[in-house]
Amino acid sequence: MALAQIIFKTIIQLAKIFWPAILYILLRADGKNNKGDDFIFIIFPVIALIKSFFDFIFFKFRVTEEDIQVKSGILSRKQITLPLYKIQTVHINQTWIQKIFNISELAFDSPGTEKAEITIQLRQLEAEELMGIVLKKNKSAAAVENHEEQISQLSLIDLLKLGLTSNHFETLLIVIGLFLSFLNNIKDIVDDYNDNLLEDSTNIILGSSILLILTGVFALFLLSILASLIRTILSYINFRITKSTSGFVVNKGLINKSQKLVPFKKVQYISWKTNWIRKKISMYIFEFHTIGKKELKNNLKIKVPVISIPVLTELAKSYSTDISEHFPSGLKVHPTFLYRNTFFWGILPVFLIFFPIFLYNKSFSIALLLIPLYVFLHYYLYTKKFLFSWSDNLIEVQKGVFGKQIVILKWENIQSIKISQSLYQGQKSLANLIIYTAGGTITAPYIPIEAAQELQNFGLFKVENSVNHWQ
Amino acid sequence: MKFLNSDIDISTLPKAETVKLIPIDGRYYTVLIYYQVVYFTIYFIAMLITMILNSEFYSFFVAGLTVALFTLICYLSFKLIYLNFKNKAYAIREHDIIYQTGWWRKSLHVCPFNRIQHCSIDAGVFERNLGISKLKIYSAGMSNSDIAIPGLTLEDANNLRELIIQKIKQETV
């Protein structure tokens, strides 16, 4: 166990230190061998091994009734104490190397204090055991037996559906980006032999018939579909969500296994989104927005693909039981939002850069004129789909451009509310309502100022009267 | 606990927008002016150096035009600072704290006491010399949701902090 951990850490450290050196060796074309170069191949592994060894020796942790204590560091000793009641979420992660050695990484998240987060490497079984202990203590007196109820699991067909209906346009952009950088790299390497590979290939493409171009486009399209399929399968394979007494447990991953726990009471707001095709086969991506600034940054948002309406309802019910189909009141975005944004983000930038580019390259500058059209379409769809509605207990926001996203927020989960009004909005008696929560920010742009003020007052009333403390 | 869910008449709710706000201390304007003077001095020196180094390009007319433009930018910037300063104000209510700021984009931010995590007081070089400071109020929202009230006298800031800490204690008990 100990040995495995030391080796594992060494490999990781080596990989981190070494990749430029390895790259250098691989790309070293002249074939000459300097003896000094090889020296680093002995020094670095030794240093890395020694460091991992001492890191391991000096890493100590213990779990008491109230907190988890971790001591680490060789030269500067560091001690972290994380009170159990402050723990927001517990994750078990396992990369493929860790899987070989049967080690897992147990991570504890606490709100706000990014520095105080703890990760402990343990054997899989021990990690699960410790996770159980911590969760039990975190729940204190209310600890009930941990029976788990499976909510949803993705079959291969579901995965295929999910992959095929994902945003191919986005993947296409990634594929094109990768292709271009790949081309650039090749260009660098074969620079001596052929210094206008790009130009040559462009000329070939331009010289070929329309049929050939269409075939190329079609191939690119197929490639991006394939890429999104692979992306989806890699991120959602083995996906399973279960419900325990304290929260949802999300398991996923084939190569990099991960297990996440979402405690019910830490969820700030929920959202689910779908697109036109996914809606037809009732497929949604459900998201829990929990407390924590780090989760947003680290892409640790807890996303759950949902393949049927009952599952969606079940997940949503865990947050609030009275989500209704129709909310009594709703606000739409004022049309000036569309005109203003089209002008500032579409027409104005193009107007500024059009003439310089026109002088330089005429055909390209004509293509620029498509930008305002796209921006208009973007904001048109946004304005059309946006709906801010509320009831006594909940806020519901519908928004989206090509797809549609629905956000559900309890009034009590609001942290603070801001009304912001530009001079222009002032003339039209409009304002933006900005709602801050611990899981993210929700904005209602260009709504009537009176409505914004009423909502602000009502929100404050709800927050200030909320009996249970928010976390 | 008895469950209450009576109808709420929105028109009877306390209104945040009609609260009389307390403007911030005038010394804060002096601080802003100081900062601006420092910036503009640096810009001005940089501009002079550029002009001297490229003296063949800067005829009397071009140099005059540049200086005129610079003066105009200075004037507009001071004007903007004044307008922004004029619009900064705050108020304390029984359950929350209100902060208003901005001229071109005016905003009214309200943070309830039972959502405040902690608060801090800090002061820069000029602020310290003039005896004013800035009160920062942190909630658990994202980083841009924090409220920072500048231009409070040190005494006011300390009193406010004490008050907020008292309020947090009351609200969470």
Q: pLDDT of A255-284, one tens digit each?
A: 666 777 777 777 888 999 988 888 888 888
- Give me the long-range contacts of B3-10 (CB less than 8 A, separation at least 24): B5/A392, B8/A392, B8/A458, B8/A461, B10/A454, B10/A457, B10/A458
Residue A208 confidence class, pLDDT cut points 50, 70, 90: low
In this prediction the pTM is: 0.72
User: What is the DSSP code (8-state) at residue A451?
Assistant: H
The residue of B17, B18, B168, B170 whose CB has the most chain A CBs within 10 angstroms, and thus the best one to mutate to test that interface, is: B17
Condensed to tens digits (0 to 9), the pLDDT of residues B29-83 reads 999 999 999 999 999 999 888 888 887 777 788 888 888 999 999 999 999 999 9
The answer to whether A421 contacts B115, with C-beta atoms less than 8 Å apart, is no
Query: How confident is the model over B14-32, as pLDDT tens digits?
Result: 888 888 999 999 999 999 9
Q: How far is CA A283 from its chain centroid?
A: 19
| Residue in the block written with tokens 């004509």 | A366
CA gap B17, B12 in Å, rounded: 14
Closest partner residue to B140 among A112, A458, A467, by Cβ? A112
pLDDT of residue B41: 94
Helix (H) or strand (E) holding A255: none
C-beta atoms of A441 and B14 within 8 A: no
Would the CB atoms of B108 and A471 count as touching at under 8 Å? no
Tokens 């469950």 correspond to B3
User: What's the CA dihedral at A348, A352, A353, A354 to 10 degrees?
Assistant: 80
Task: Please check whether residue A412 is in contact with residue A469, taking contact to mean a CB–CB distance below 8 angstroms.
Answer: no
Cα gap A204→A264, rounded to integer Å: 59
Q: What is the Cα gyration radius of chain A?
A: 27
pLDDT value at position A409?
92
Whether B142 sits inside 8 A of A441 (CB atoms) is yes
Average pLDDT over residues A116-140: 74
C-alpha–C-alpha distance, residues B162 and A118, integer Å: 33
Share of chain A above pLDDT 90, in %: 19
pLDDT at res. A144: 38
Give B172's contacts in chain A (Cβ within 8 Å): 469
Residue B145 and residue A112: Cβ atoms within 8 Å?
no
pLDDT at A30: 55
- In tens, the pLDDT along B99-129 reads 999 999 999 999 998 888 888 888 888 888 8
Beta strands across the sheet bearing A240-243: A118-123, A103-109, A89-94, A257-263, A247-252, A240-243, A149-153
The verdict on a CB contact (< 8 Å) between B95 and A464 is: yes
- Cβ-based contacts of A414 with chain B (< 8 Å): 115
Closest to A429 (Cα-Cα) out of A409, A452, A413:
A452
Q: What is the pLDDT of residues A239-256, one digit of tens each?
A: 888 887 777 878 777 666
Judge: A392–B8 Cβ closer than 8 Å, yes or no: yes
**C-beta atoms of A461 and B96 within 8 A:** no
CA–CA separation, B171 and B117 (whole Å) = 12
CB contact under 8 A, A416 and B144: no
Structure token pair of residue B108? 């009214």
The residue with greater pLDDT, A468 or A210, is A210
Q: Chain A: nearest CA to B103, how far in angstroms?
A: 8
CA distance A456 to chain B (A): 8
Identify the band that residue A114 occupies on the pLDDT scale cut at 50, 70 and 90: very low
Highest mean pLDDT among A2-11, A51-60, A192-201, A259-268: A51-60
Tell me which chain A residues have a C-beta less than 8 angstroms from the C-beta of B149: none
**What residues of B are in the A interface, CB distance below 8 Å?**
1, 5, 8, 10, 13-17, 95-96, 102, 104-115, 117, 139-145, 147, 172
**How far is it, in rounded angstroms, from Cα B32 to Cα B68?**
23
Provide mean pLDDT across the span B141-152: 82
Q: Which of A133-137, A254-258, B52-56, B134-138 has the lowest mean pLDDT?
A: A254-258
Q: How far apart are the first and last CA of chain B?
A: 16
